[in-house]
Amino acid sequence: MSTTLPRIARTALLVAATALAGCGLTYNAQAVRATAGDDVAVRVVEVTPQTVLLANREPYTPLSLPASFFQQTGLGSGLRGAGALPDAPFVPDARPQTAELRPPPPVSSQPYRLGVGDVVLLSTPQRGGTVEQLSGLLAAQNQRQGYTIRDDGAIAIPEVGTIPLAGLTVEQAESRIFDELVRSQLDPTFSLEVAEFNSQRVSVGGAVATTQFVPIGLTALTLGDAITAVGGITAPQEEFATIRIYRDGTLYEIPLEAYLTRPDLQRTTLVEGDSVFVDTTYDLAQAQAFYEQQINIIGLERGARSAALAELQAEIGLRRGALEEDRELFERQLGLDAIDRDYVFLAGEVAEQSRIPLPFNQQSHLADVLFGAGGIPPASANPAQIYVLRASADPTAFGAVTAWNLDARNAAAITLATRFEMRPNDIIFVAPQPITTWNRALQQLFPTLINLGTAAVN
């Protein structure tokens, strides 16, 4: 009898497991499937250095913090409740010291050398019959192909392969492409031009219309060209403004008055990595020091001097208080979820499924989201199936959802996650390991099997 009962129990468990499987009582795990179903058409794209560039092309500008987070309590801030600062007492020839003229040394003219991010345009002769030649725009599109120089310094041309171009002049690049076309037994007749200059830039900021990077093209970029490109200088008082150029660890200065009257300074040649900043002498600390100096210089009587200083301190205090009030109000609204935010969503086999806000004033990347939320559990998550699900604007289009698949079984692939930019409403999904799915199915199945086996024994 003692050997019969275990045999009966084992038989009952086997019969119960077979019956449950036949009834379809199995554990269903979430997965990304590259099929066009009735509801959603999914297109799976492997994440590579090339496809990262493609995914990042979708335009997105991060939300910005309110202006009060960037303002200083200096002159001209125009905050509500704050009047004009007290006038400085009249003192003959009283003004801040003019900056010294220290222009950067002249640089020799060098031919433009291609770099990472530049886009070159390859034009080939027209082929085909008369009807094809009359197709106009289609023919032009087929004959002019743009190639972006990748992070490895090369472009990839179908039927030719990878051609390194970084560091070459346009003439040298044409020669190298010619040699590769001949080696591949293709027609070497073509022309090459640079469609986008992205590898060499100069930053321009400060008291200008628009702070931005200005690209350096085939011709030398002058200081005047760079300032014109950002909309010109907006300093209200020319005598107090200075153009500062930071190059290779050295700071050069050109007073704005000298720049406006001397064409040779306007023709100053800028080079890759230069930073141009138009600076005015008035910020909070400088304005306060200047006013205090002027009030003390003229020898006002003690009472009048104290009143003037108190007026200055009170006005600056009003401005600072208004800024702090605006910032605190924004932070309270943010805490109550009353501010519009852009979000991404973390799902699947992750430390915690959650909704994650995108940061203000900067791009967020896939690595920021994954590791900022605790990473992925190595024991249960499948590193080969990390997906970024991004919906198309047209839900009826083919590939209405693009699943960008990051295979992180090779840990080096995580570097791609540090460059993959997030977009609002992206869904980051991590699939479970096959053994994880099996273990969870057994965890759900075992209690039922044990009950059935016990009933069979009894």
- Distance, C-alpha 328 to centroid of its chain: 27
CATH fit for domain 119-196, picks 3.40.50.150, 3.30.1950.10, 3.30.70.260, 3.10.28.10: 3.30.1950.10
- Please tell me which residue, 418 or 312, carries the higher pLDDT value: 418
97-110+200-280 sits in which CATH class?
A: alpha beta
Backbone angles phi, psi at 87, to 5 degrees: -65, 145
- Residue for token pair 């104290």: 306
Instruction: Name the β-bridge partners of 391.
Output: 401
φ/ψ bin of 364: left (φ > 0), alpha (ψ from -120 to 50), beta (otherwise): beta
Most confidently predicted of 22-31, 33-42, 131-140, 418-427: 418-427
% of the chain residues with pLDDT over 90:
23
Asked if residue 45 lies in contact with residue 205, where contact means CB atoms within 8 angstroms, the answer is no
Pick from 357, 359, 360: which is nearest to 345 by CA?
357
Strand, coil or helix: what is 345?
Answer: strand
What number of H helices and E strands is found in the chain?
Answer: 13, 18
Chain Cα centroid distance, residue 79: 31
Per-residue pLDDT, 20: 47
- Look at residue 93 and tell me whether its pLDDT is greater than 50: no
Residue among 233, 240, 241, 243 at smallest CA distance from 209: 233
pTM of the entire predicted model: 0.42
CB atoms within 10 A of CB 101: 15
Q: Which among 274, 119, 109, 118 is positioned nearest to 199, based on CA atoms?
A: 118
When pLDDT is cut at 50, 70 and 90, the band that residue 119 belongs to is very high
Q: Which residue has the higher pLDDT, 313 or 354?
A: 354
What average pLDDT does the chain have? 76
- Give the distance from CA 339 to its chain's centroid: 22
293: phi then psi, degrees, rounded to nearest 5? -65, -45
Structure tokens at 91: 């003192």
Instruction: Say whether pLDDT at 197 is over 60.
Output: yes
Residue 50 tokens read as 């090339």
Beta bridge partners of 347: 429
Report the pLDDT averaged over residues 29-36: 65
Average the pLDDT over each of 53-67, 250-264, 384-398 and give the range with the smallest value: 384-398
Contact 20, 451 (CB under 8 A): no
pLDDT at 423: 93
Q: Which residue has the higher pLDDT, 17 or 458?
A: 458
Higher-scoring residue by pLDDT: 32, 337: 337
What is the distance of C-alpha 168 from the center of its chain?
28
**Burial (0-12, 13-18, 19+ Cβ within 10 Å), 142:** middle
> What is the structure's pLDDT at 109?
83
Architecture of the domain spanning 42-63+341-437? Roll (3.10)
